[in-house]
Amino acid sequence: MRRKAISASVLLAAFAAFVCWLRPQPIPRAGGPLPHDVYVWQRTWNEPVVAAVLQHAGHFSQCVALGAEVEWTRGAPRLTRVAVNFDALRAGGRSVGLALRIGSFPGPFVADDERARWLADIAHSLLTEAASHQLPISELQIDFDCAESKLAGYQLWVEAIRHRIQPVPTVITALPAWLQRASFRQLAGSADAFVLQVHSLERPKDPGKPFTLCDLSAARKAIGQAARFGRPFRVALPTYGYSVGFDPAGKLLGLSAEGPSRHWPASTQLREVSADPEAMATLVRDLTRDRPECLRGVIWYRLPVANDHLNWSWATLETVMTGQTPQAILSAQLRRPSPGLFEVDLHNTGTADQVVPASIGLSWNGARVIASDGLLGFEGREGAGDAFQFSSLRPRPRLRPGETRTIGWLRLDKDTEVALQIQEIDAATGTQEK
């Protein structure tokens, strides 16, 4: 009987150990201020890019600059080197990482073949170039457009690059879908850390349906899943936007990102999709209060530059990094440069972009319109009686924080008092009617 009792105890203990092994272990938690890094992803370091780095790099723990990009044509690589301004990065006074962007490649992947050695040499040459400018590099990021089914092959490239550039840490970017693959654990273990990219734009199918660059609940879920691997990681959050074009039937024509404006057909329906500052501020607040211990910070894609049109302004990103929701503060002002001449200005003195109002109305008594013109996305027309209206064209332009825009002028046949009113507001902007 005693022997049977002992056997039963052993079985129970083994079963309990097995249950504990199956049960997910608690993930250590942390709180407090988050380190914030930022990408400088431009391929041309013009004056606005250099100015942005010099002015704002000091607000981040690290700047990660795109160093080179590899594209493949029938298995043959084509390398584009970026003429990085290392002097500007060094003057920024913060740690600097470099990124190697690798385009889609179907395989085969071999641990020590010509391709793997070539990529490792490219990575090493980026560090050598930085060293020639007296700039130490804190990490080398690999941003590979890898198919989910090829993660095991990607691991071979990561190991080759990591071996070539040691002791500089090797960091990989990862997509939430990769976390579901059994091979991701080995891939993550082959690098020193990874960056979880929770932003992307799924192919829109209908111009009338909402679409987003970063879904808040999906981002939270992905962060929780990433923490299960126990590897140090950062989460990449978006600051950018796209213009999305559809034909009259609602068929997607394409996307237009930052850079030269795309020439769309005249009948194109245009919509803009941008990173949501309120949602990103909420996520920053949540992660500051409570996060997985292995989540080591946030990295923003990308550093705002003065001539950006779709990216956030610096005032918006600076506010979101504190966990606060940026606000637009819109006002309209009537100027009188000379008797009878009236010019209308819009001001945004807040920290968020503001879609301009649908309409600005002017009214007076006892005068006649001689001439008028709408400017910068507005057109003017006379109303009934002593009234005039400047209406914004679609798509409505945005007013950046700190920006002032003259939207039109009006000349009357005599000088008189003119009242100004913001008559219509796009409900999505939250600006109150005046």
Rounded to an integer, what distance in angstroms lies between the CA atom of residue 340 and that of residue 170? Answer: 66
pLDDT given for residue 21 in this prediction: 47
pLDDT given for residue 219 in this prediction: 97
- Chain centre distance of CA 48: 18
CA dist list (Å): 157 to 88, 114, 115, 194, 214: 31, 11, 9, 15, 29
Structure tokens that stand for 357 in this block: 């109002």
- Do domains 28-239+273-321 and 330-424 share one topology? The answer is no
pLDDT given for residue 384 in this prediction: 81
pLDDT given for residue 25 in this prediction: 72
pLDDT digits (tens, 9 = 90+) for 263-317: 788 888 777 788 999 999 999 999 999 999 999 999 999 999 998 988 999 999 9
Q: pTM for this structure?
A: 0.86
Burial of 24 (0-12, 13-18, 19+ CB in 10 A): exposed
Give the torsion sign (CA, 114, 116, 118, 121): negative
Q: Which residues of the chain have pLDDT under 50?
A: 19-21, 425-434
Looking at the structure, give the CATH architecture of the domain made up of residues 330-424. Answer: Sandwich (2.60)
Inter-residue contact 98 to 137 (CB < 8 Å): yes
- Domain boundaries, given as residue ranges, for the chain: 28-239+273-321, 330-424
Class of domain 28-239+273-321: alpha beta
Rounded to an integer, what distance in angstroms lies between the CA atom of residue 193 and that of residue 184? Answer: 12
pLDDT given for residue 428 in this prediction: 41
Rounded to an integer, what distance in angstroms lies between the CA atom of residue 76 and that of residue 69? Answer: 14
